[in-house]
Chains A and B, each alone.
Chain A
């Protein structure tokens, strides 16, 4: 009887969030015991800003993966947008105009991604891998392998702008995250993404324009990558082809840790992704604090990607079993 009650409770609480929250707590506790600098404001600043671009892009990636696709092209879009924005700005263009144009270009790339995917009937993985590679080459050619700096003084102020001691990127993330949290539950277009990912045929039969839904997620993901590109220029006061290297992997890993299913569409949440990003950021920070080489980052990210998928599929199976048992 008691175990039945337990199972009922477990069903109500999202097991995945619970596991993640406990892990985060353990990490924070462990680190604060180990290092007195961990819980300082300065370290918090480092922790947050190291993964803020990934956090922004993970929001869009979550929707792409829920729709049943993937977007590897963000690793090309981020530096590309940063570069064209920097080029336009250094050639004297009005800053807001340059931003708008850069973001529109980024969205255009997302649009092209989706067109290639749907018109040529290609796997999203193949399309976005290709566009990513093409953009990376373009980035090299545009910059000649050098860093674009010497931004106007008025621009540098943007990077300094820190209301309440929180960086601009962080503010933007907070706003975006709140919007995504709310939209993903309440906005018709966002909700359609879940239906399309869950069962595209059934969604079509309910009269949904599935193509518009796919276009929406790829353009959205590209837009956020573009935004991250522009924000990167404010952080580093420069633009380089080397921005965003391996970022797609970190973003996908954050989404996977957050419990969004990589094997079947329609399952996932923005809240989970936010927790996943936080977890990844803390782990990375812990590594840096422990004085370990940053080279470990790749190892840890890849390892966590695989472990996260194995775990979340495992949790899903347990839940399915429980649901079936309680129904019996």
Chain B
């Protein structure tokens, strides 16, 4: 009985999110008609989706650990700048990508080290690295675009297979793989334990520091991959890329069922959360016409998601107390 009930609640969120997304789609199609379901608008909705998916996926791991990573937007910009600069200098595409991804791993490890080794509160540590990296980006570029990238690079994300853009394929694949692995690979599974109860995890022989490092490394790496997809798509690097992407990622993950206290998170939920955030943004813009709202919407959604999450946990504990 209890097992069944649990399955329903887990799927409950996925079903609810799917329903909400469908309802918004239908409602918007009726209200705005052609304007909404035109190819250009759908493309607009999905234009940032591949990056958001990756970042939110990394964020889900960090939230499962009971942490938070505010630096993902800056890591994205940093890796983008590094890779495009190297390419501009004539470096071979694979090597530049390799260096870019490695640097994202190192940056993630620094975040993880500050949190796990030096016990700095995650949001303060990543707030610090967020600012440092963004600053370095501006220093490196002096605020200019880095363009004129080789075609070998730009075609990575611009190409498509069976009508689906490569970048969407790449991020969906990565996301799906990580989602499937998240409960099957030991290192990933250990994150649930650390986020669920770090003390008990330590006393059960789980390498808490290593596991925490891994979580932040993945988050960094996801931002690195997103950076490559983004610079490849746009054909340039810029210091301002990825600004406040972290909020969208956190909001999407929390909507999708990640618990801000750690120990819980659903990758399918996160994916739906990303779509919902993108959709709501689009709806807002359709009615208001001003893209100025996009950051604010992330804020509102984050607040709502966090509030709904807390209320859910509260009502759960209340119903248990009644038992």
Direct contact of A and B (CB under 8 A): yes
Residues of A at under 8 Å CB distance from B? Answer: 70, 116, 120-123, 125-127, 129-138, 140-141, 144-145, 246, 249, 252, 256, 262-263, 293, 295-303, 305-306, 309-310, 313
* Other-chain contact of A293, B142, B300, B306 (Cβ < 8 Å): B142
Q: Assess whether B134 is interfacial by the CB under 8 Å rule.
A: yes
Point out the residues of chain A lying under 8 angstroms from B119, CB to CB.
Answer: 263, 313
**Chain B contacts for A298, CB-based, 8 A:** 131-132, 134-135, 138
Task: Say if the beta carbon of B182 comes within 8 Å of chain A.
Answer: no
> What is the bound-complex CA distance between A272 and B293, given in angstroms?
38
> Can you name 5 extra interface pairs (CB under 8 A) apart from A125-B123, A138-B296, A295-B135?
A134-B299, A137-B296, A293-B139, A295-B142, A306-B129
Q: Are the C-beta atoms of A122 and B131 separated by less than 8 Å? A: no
B8 interfacial contact with A, CB 8 Å: no
**What per-residue 1/0 map shows which CB atoms of B130-153 lie under 8 Å from chain A?**
111111101100110000000000
Contact A126 B303 (CB under 8 A): yes
Contact A129 B299 (CB under 8 A): yes
Closest CB of chain B to A117's CB: distance in Å? 11
* Nearest opposing residue in chain B for A292, CB measure: B139
User: A295 to B120, Cβ gap below 8 A?
Assistant: no
Are the C-beta atoms of B297 and A137 separated by less than 8 Å?
A: yes
* CB of B222, distance to nearest CB on chain A (Å): 20
Contacts of B132 in A (CB 8 A): 298-299, 302-303
B131→A137 contact, CB < 8 A: no
Are the CB atoms of A120 and B298 closer together than 8 Å? no
**B287–chain A nearest beta-carbon distance, Å:** 13
- Chain A residue with minimal CB distance to B139? A295
**What are 9 A-B interface contacts by the 8 Å CB criterion?**
A116-B303, A122-B307, A130-B303, A145-B292, A263-B121, A296-B135, A298-B138, A300-B135, A306-B129
- Residues on the A chain within 8 Å of B129, using CB: 302, 306
B285-310 Cβ-contact flags toward A at 8 Å (1 or 0):
00000101111111110110011001
B125 within 8 A of A: yes
Given contacts A137-B297, A303-B132, contact A129 B139 (CB under 8 A): no
State how many angstroms separate the Cβ of B139 from the closest Cβ of chain A: 5
- Asked if B247 CB lies within 8 Å of chain A CBs, one says yes
Whether A122 pairs with B306 at a CB distance below 8 angstroms is: yes
| B75: interface (CB < 8 Å) | no
8 Å CB contact of B310 from A122, A134, A256, A310: A122
B178 interfacial contact with A, CB 8 Å: no
Tell yes or no: B207 within 8 A of A by CB: no
In the complex, what distance in Å separates the CA atom of A262 from the CA atom of B120? 8
Q: Is B114 an interface residue (CB 8 A)?
A: yes
Alpha-carbon separation in the docked complex, A300 to B128 (Å): 10
Distance between Cα atoms of A133 and B303 in the complex (Å): 11
Query: With a CB–CB cut-off of 8 A, which chain A residues contact B293?
Result: 137, 140-141
- A137, A246, A256: most-surrounded residue (chain B CB, <10 A): A137
Q: Are A132 and B299 closer than 8 Å at their CB atoms?
A: yes
Known contacts A120-B310, A249-B131, A309-B120; A295 and B294 CB within 8 A of each other: no
B: interface residue count bin = 35 or more
The smallest beta-carbon distance between B137 and chain A, in angstroms, is 8
* A172 to B: closest C-beta gap in Å: 27
| Residues of chain B within 8 A of A121, CB atoms compared | 310, 314
CA distance A133 to B311 in the complex (A): 23
How far is the CB of B97 from the nearest CB of chain A, in Å?
25
Contacts of B90-120 to chain A: CB distance below 8 A: 114, 118-120
Measured between C-beta atoms, what is the minimum distance from B303 to chain A in Å?
4
Contacts of B306 in A (CB 8 A): 120, 122-123, 126, 130
**B313 → chain A, closest Cβ, in Å?**
9
B274 at the interface (CB under 8 A from A): no
Alpha-carbon separation in the docked complex, A193 to B295 (Å) = 33
The reply to whether A302 and B130 form a contact with Cβ atoms under 8 Å apart is yes
Residue of B nearest to A300 (CB): B135
Which one of A140, A145, A300 has the highest number of Cβ atoms from chain B below 10 Å of its Cβ?
Answer: A140
Q: Is A137 a contact of B139 with CB atoms below 8 Å?
A: no
Minimum CB–CB distance for A230 against chain B, Å: 23
**Interface flag for B260 (CB, 8 Å):** yes
Chain B residues contacting A252 (CB-CB under 8 Å) are 124, 127
Knowing A249-B127, A295-B138 are in contact, say whether A141-B295 is a contact too (CB < 8 A): no
CB distance from A240 to the nearest CB of B (A): 14
Q: Is the beta-carbon distance between B135 and A133 smaller than 8 angstroms? A: no
Q: Beyond A120-B310, A133-B298, is A262–B124 a contact (Cβ under 8 Å)? A: yes
Closest to B244 in A: A133
- Within B260-304, which residues are at the interface with A (CB < 8 Å)? 260, 290, 292-300, 302-303
Cα distance A122–B142 when bound, in Å?
Answer: 39
B130 cross-chain contacts in A, Cβ below 8 A: 302
User: Complex Cα distance A262/B244, Å?
Assistant: 23
Contact A136 B131 (CB under 8 A): no
Kindly state the separation between the CA atoms of A70 and B127 in the bound complex, as whole angstroms.
12
A243 to B292, CA, bound (A): 16
Q: Tell me the B20-64 residues at the A interface (CB within 8 Å).
A: none
Chain A residues with CB under 8 A of B143: 295
Q: Point out the residues of chain A lying under 8 angstroms from B125, CB to CB.
A: 306
Q: Are B307 and A137 in contact (CB under 8 A)?
A: no
A270 to B223, CA, bound (A): 38
Residues of chain A within 8 A (CB-CB) of B131 are 246, 249, 298-299, 301-302, 305
Out of B128, B142, B292, name the residue touching A140 (CB < 8 Å).
B292
